[in-house]
Amino acid sequence: MRDVVDTSRIAIETSQDISVRELLDLAAKRFGEALRERLLSGSGELQANVRVFVGEHETASLEAPIIDGQNGSAEVKVFVLSATAGG
């Protein structure tokens, strides 16, 4: 991912609670279509090798809400797993 984003952490501030899809859209606007293509399939769903965690819970739903925590921010982690060869 560093070839697309060039960092391991980014901060995106919003004035309201948003969904995972809306967050990824904001990130793609900031970092370009290469990021969207790395995270989403042609049909707009998460790529098979992408895992999204909202807080400590994994979600496969792009419509899952990201709700601010007690400190006024929610942490979302997006992992892109490398493909491995073998059996």
CATH for 73: 3.10.20.30
**pLDDT tens for each residue of 4-49:** 888 888 888 887 889 999 999 999 999 999 999 999 999 999 999 9
DSSP 9: -
Residue 11 within any structural domain of the chain: yes
Distance of CA 77 to the CA centre of its chain: 7
Distance CA 23, CA 78 (A): 11
Nearest by Cα to 23 from 53, 57, 56: 53
48 is a domain residue: yes
pTM above 0.85, yes or no: no
Total of domains in the chain: 1
- Between these two residues, 64 and 81, which has the higher pLDDT value? 64
Contact 49, 65 (CB under 8 A): no
| 67 domain residue, yes or no | yes
For 27-75, the DSSP string reads: HHHHH-HHHHHHHB-TTSSBPTTEEEEETTEEE--TT-EE---TTS---
